[in-house]
Structure 1
Amino acid sequence: MRIALTGATGFIGGYMARGLSEDGHTIRMLCRPGRESALPQIAEDHREVHMGDLTDAASMAGFLKDVDLLLHLASAHDHFDEATMRAINIGGTENLLEEARRNAPDHLRFWVMSSAVIGAPVYSLYRDTKRIQEKIIRAERFEWATFRPTLVYGVGDYRHTAPLLRQCAAKRGRFLVPHDGLSKINPVHVEDVVDALKRFFDFERGVDCMYELAGPEGMTYNEFVDQTIAAAGGTIRRRNISRRWANWAIFFKGLFKDTTEDRRASAYFSLHHEHDITNARYELGWEPRTYAEGIGQVARESDWWKFESEGGKRLID
């Protein structure tokens, strides 16, 4: 099968490209000019590269010609400004759909990697742009499926997993957790995300489906931190900050600067973020690993997380 992939230069996209190429699929990867070195290394006979930018409709010409499946992973998260999130998450998806109408075969399937945060009861422009993305895809004639992973971790994640492991590897100090740390989350290993999607190839219904992808069960944020400290071999102590003191700190900070993001972050730690993976378990036979098992594997996979980036400066001994 020839699969068009956006987001191939990202953390999850790299795993997805390698996993699907190992199964014999040909992967046509979308790459922005200047990002060629970030493309995952896969077998040459399974590798195609299309140079283009999601926000530039003209550059997408031919990207979906003769492909069987579009796997849309590329997105702009909350660390981007609002204009960029709209341009990529909404505008980029509209450009892909327009290219599909022009050049894709009638049997094209459109699978999107969205985010479990879509269902979170805390405002986020990222969440809302991803909701719109899903809606405009569903309105089209193409067969679609959407996969919503929650907090994804794994080897090679230098933006989230590596900094967290380095912090938890400290031998002294405190790891401060807002509120009582009892709100629940469901981290999921990146290889389990790839496994779920690969299983979907063999699912008989296989169209117009939605799957939330998360850990096997919710864990408190305190457990999340404690298990990460254990995996990293640190002796740093976790300490909780009461909601009262957190709110007072935000109040005084608000006297001098905008605290919108602080208030949203505080609200995040007051809510449970568990996700129902029943249909992935039942329909796909999918069973993700526990966080304790997964983060232990990630931490023991050489000392990759002690560096700021692949091939970059070593930050801890």
Structure 2
Amino acid sequence: MNILITGATGFLGGHLADACLRDGHRVRALVRSGSDTARLSSLGAGIDLVPGDLSDTASLARAAIGCDAVLHSAARVVDHGSRAQFEEANVAGTQRLLTAARAAGATRFVFVSSPSALMHLREGDRLGIDESTPYPTRFFNHYCATKAAAEQYVRAANTPRFTTCALRPRGIWGPRDHAGFLPRMIASMRAGRLPDLSGGKRVRVSLCHVDNAVDACLRATAAPAERIGGKAYFVADAEETDLWAFLTRIGALLDCPPPHPRIPVPLTRALSRAVETAWSLHPAATTSPPPLSRYMAALLTRSTTYDTGAARRDLGYDPPRTREDGVSGLLRWIHANGGAEAWTRPAGHRTATATATATDTDTDTDTDTDTDTDTDRGSTRR
């Protein structure tokens, strides 16, 4: 197939491009002006880079010409900014892409959504959530609300000749991720600045290795239309994860001190509200994330796991990467690419190195790329 990928200069999108090429597809990548395209350009003749972005209707039309399927992974995935900024990037951008894909004759549209589309402002632990869970009446933040809106537009666009579906991976992790939740947490651990926010509670979560997310996306491009059309699916690793034990283990393998001190969950939540409120008055509030947000605190203190039975039934999804395989592969990649310091280095400080080693690393400096860790860029950040 000819497959259009958005967000290909980022973490998940970059892995999607690699996998599509390995499977013999041709890839067209929509790339924003100023994005680092060195790694994509090194992938060979099977990939075509089209300048443009989700706000440019003409560029979307050019990118969609001749494409059979669209893998839409780009979005605004931060926890700061105005409602208008989120609406433009996540909702209007997705609507424009849907229109361009239909007009160009594409027959499949796969939207990388997020479990955050179902995230309520006030709720406790939720275990084993499945696709029967309704959208909330009051969303946690602008990101959650606009991902839900975009997802609903995608699902409603399904027709017999234009099959649409949404995938909801949570906490994507793996090699070449520099901006997701895991490198951000490890960066804080290396600096001795990550408290244990679990409050002694076992925070049970579903995470998703990037290889598993990619597998689900590719299966969604080929699954029978009558089976998946207009539906949404949770996608996760086979294993449930004890979040703080997982973070502590990865940190220990990289010689980081453990999270400390332990802070009671009620205090964390109260502090996050105070910090977020104070940050809203800061001049940088529209361009930078707060040091601690309610969203960040919720993702790090709430137990939330997902039932992937529907993806197994309809997509044939069977996570190809186990957690142990994923951890081993991540550590090999980290040590082969400069170690923990290089992995967790802020994007601006990686530019020179990334330019010299573009075939080995993914700088992930495209801030409109949805890796959707839900603790992604600015959200813990993913």
Asked if TM exceeds 0.5, the reply is yes
Once residues 186 and 101 of structure 1 are traced to their aligned partners in structure 2, the CA distance between those partners, rounded to angstroms, is 34
**1:149-193 CA deviation, whole Å, 9 max, x = no partner?**
1001111111133333344456x7864325334232222111111
CA distance in 2, matches of 1:60, 1:74: 13
CA RMSD of aligned residues (A): 3.1
Segment of structure 1 superposing worse, 212-221 or 182-191: 212-221
Name which of 130, 155, 160 aligns with 2:175: 155
> Hey, what's the Cα distance between the residues in 1 that align with 2:7 and 2:277?
40
Cα pair distance change 1:270/1:210, threshold 3 Å = same
Distance change (3 Å), C-alpha of 1:247 and 1:6: closer
Equivalent residue number for residue 110 of structure 2: 111
**Long gaps (5+) in structure 2:** 122-139, 282-289, 355-382
Query: Which position in structure 1 is the counterpart of 2:330?
Result: 298
Contact 1:181–1:220 (CA under 8 A) maintained in structure 2: no
Residues matched between the structures, number: 311
Confirm or deny that 1:186 pairs with 2:206: yes
SS of 2:168's equivalent in the other structure is strand
Query: CA separation of 1:235/1:296 partners in 2, compared to 1, >3 Å: closer, same or farther?
Result: farther
2:222 is aligned with 1:222:
no
Gapped regions of structure 1 (runs ≥ 5): none
User: For residue 294 of structure 1, what is the amino acid of its counterpart?
Assistant: G
Query: Which of the pair has more CA radius of gyration?
Result: 1
Q: Assess if the C-alpha contact under 8 Å between 1:185 and 1:221 holds in 2.
A: yes
Which of 129, 132, 139 matches 2:156? 139
Task: Choose from 232, 242, 250 the match for 2:254.
Answer: 232
- Tell me the TM-score normalised to structure 1 length: 0.84
Residue 197 of structure 2 contacts residue 262 of structure 2 at CA under 8 Å; is this kept in 1? yes
Q: CA deviation at 1:285?
A: 4.2
1:164 corresponds in structure 2 to: 185
Partner of 1:124: 141
Q: Which residue of structure 1 aligns with residue 94 of structure 2? A: 93
- TM-score, L = length of structure 2: 0.71
Select 1:279's aligned residue among 295, 307, 310.
310
Paired residues of 2:177 and 2:183 also in contact (CA < 8 A): yes
Alignment of 1:203-218 (within 5 A): 203-204=223-224, 205-218=227-240
Distance 1:49-1:271 versus aligned 2 partners, 3 A rule? same
Asked if the contact 1:226/1:238 (under 8 Å) is kept, the reply is no
